[in-house]
Amino acid sequence: MHKSFDEERLEEALELIWLLEEEGKSGLQRLYGYSDDDEIEAVVSRLQKRGFVEVSGDSIKLTPEGREIAKGIVRRHRLAERLFADVFDMKEEFIHEDACKLEHILSEELTDSVCTFLGHPPTCPHGKPIPRGECCKRYSVDIRPLVMRLNDFEVGKEGRIVYIVPSDSSRLNRLNSIGINAGSKIKLLQKWPSVVVQVEETTVALDPDIAKEIFVKKV
């Protein structure tokens, strides 16, 4: 069921509080400027009455219940951005706006299905972390992921690198220097003892731990 405009406004406020905390900018005064001051005060008052936030002076904090709701909203938004970017190849200027619409209507079950379909991506297209869900803990393979780790890719198949999540930032520069970056078309030649891929006319051997950080989809 589609949520009322009022409910969406409360969800957006919870999402904003989460995002400000994520950026280290938490505080009641940080909310002002995003909307009319009177409206912000009314929304904060409603969030307090619903038990979603605690306010003390300039401090505003999400309660456990409020944090869980905010987490779900952020998770749905960032997964929607991944879906639009990776599957539909939508232009950047439309991704955020459409994701804002989907974040209010996706059910938990559908959200987990999208996450599994995308291979449980750790970040959105802008590099922000996607909160983990129950499906990520189970890592269900009931639905064949569209995007998967290079280690899980099929030998002999061609794919395109969607994104790389290096545990060491210096790895990204090294991978870029050999032509392995987001958008690169590759062919997996072997998985053991090392992961060997073909990038254009070059054959490259990768450590399995590095291959786990490279996410690809079939072309």
**pTM for this one?**
0.67
Query: Where in the chain are all domains bearing CATH 1.10.10.10?
Result: 1-145
What values do phi and psi take at 141, rounded to 5? -115, 20
Residues in the chain: 219
pLDDT of residue 34: 67
Q: Enumerate residues 6+ apart whose C-beta is below 8 A from 103.
A: 11, 15, 73, 76, 77, 80
pLDDT of residue 129: 93
pLDDT of residue 67: 95
More confident residue, 154 or 27: 154
Q: Write out pLDDT tens, residues 194-209.
A: 899 999 889 999 998 8
pLDDT of residue 149: 87
pLDDT at 139 over 70: no
Q: What percent of the chain has pLDDT over 90?
A: 33
pLDDT of residue 144: 59
% helix, strand, coil for the chain, step of 5: 45, 20, 35
pLDDT of residue 192: 86
pLDDT of residue 74: 96
Task: Give me the chain's average pLDDT, please.
Answer: 86
pLDDT at 44 over 50: yes
pLDDT at 2 over 70: no
pLDDT at 137 over 60: yes
Query: Where in the chain are all domains bearing CATH 2.30.30.90?
Result: 147-218
Superfamily of domain 147-218: Ferrous iron transport protein A (FeoA) (2.30.30.90)
Overall average pLDDT of the 81-109 stretch: 86
Q: Residue 1's pLDDT band (boundaries 50, 70, 90)?
A: very low
Cα distance from N-terminal residue to C-terminal residue, the chain: 36
User: CATH code for 1-145?
Assistant: 1.10.10.10
How far apart CA 215 and CA 165 sit, in angstroms, is 8
